[in-house]
Every structure is written in structure tokens, then in C-alpha cells.
Amino acid sequence: MLLDLRDPEEYEFWRIKEAILYPAANISRDKMIPELYRFKNKPDKLIVIYMEDERKGCQAANLFAEKGYDNIFLVSGGIENFNEEFHHLVEGRDVPKPKREVIEEE
């Protein structure tokens, strides 16, 4: 399962394909979606999370760990880094161009 922990507005602009919107504030409020319960600590299931950057993502991953989730994984570098490496896997109405493409155009 892939969770986008950013705000709904950011999710609407751009996101990793097939990511589910789950704002990070829900973690501390114990507003867990049914999918999280189905994936929690299952040996054959991963819960992958991301935010804008890795620093914020680490805080969210720690909150999940405090809630007893052992199978939480963080997208290294956040969505910005992911977009640079895997632009073809990002969708939305305002997806930023990877920096290397901008440099090539200049």
C-alpha cells in the first residue's frame, strides 16, 4: 500500500500513481482507514509512505511505529526526489518537470 501523507490540495496537484491520500494529521488522531488495519504487521504486506521531503516523512514513520506498525517504509527523499528519478510514475494536474528536463530545455 502506498500512502501520500500530504494535504489534499497537494495530492490533487500531483502524486505517485496509485497512492492513497491519507493526511499525516490522521496518524496522531488515530483516524486509521480499514486498509491500514488489513496491512498492519502482515509479513507479506508493506505500507510505503511519503511526504514532500524525508524529514517530515521520518516524523510520520515514527508516529506509525509508536502506534505499533512494524511494516512501515519511507520513500527516501520524498516525492520531490521520487519525481526526479521516476517521473513516469507520477500523475496529477500540475506535475513539476524533473530538473534535468528543465536544464536540457534551457
Interval 61-83: pLDDT, tens? 999 999 999 999 999 999 999 99
pLDDT of residue 100: 75
Q: How far apart are CA 5 and CA 56, in angstroms?
A: 10
Q: Which helix (H) or strand (E) holds 28?
A: helix 25-28
**The one-letter amino acid at 3:** L
pLDDT band at 106 (very low <50, low <70, confident <90, very high): low
pLDDT of residue 74: 97
Question: Are 89 and 17 spatial neighbours (Cβ–Cβ below 8 Å)?
Answer: yes
Q: What is the pLDDT of residues 3-56, one digit of tens each?
A: 999 999 999 999 999 999 999 999 999 899 999 999 999 999 999 999 998 889
Residue 23 DSSP label? -
Q: How far apart are CA 65 and CA 104, in angstroms?
A: 42
Question: Are 103 and 27 spatial neighbours (Cβ–Cβ below 8 Å)?
Answer: no
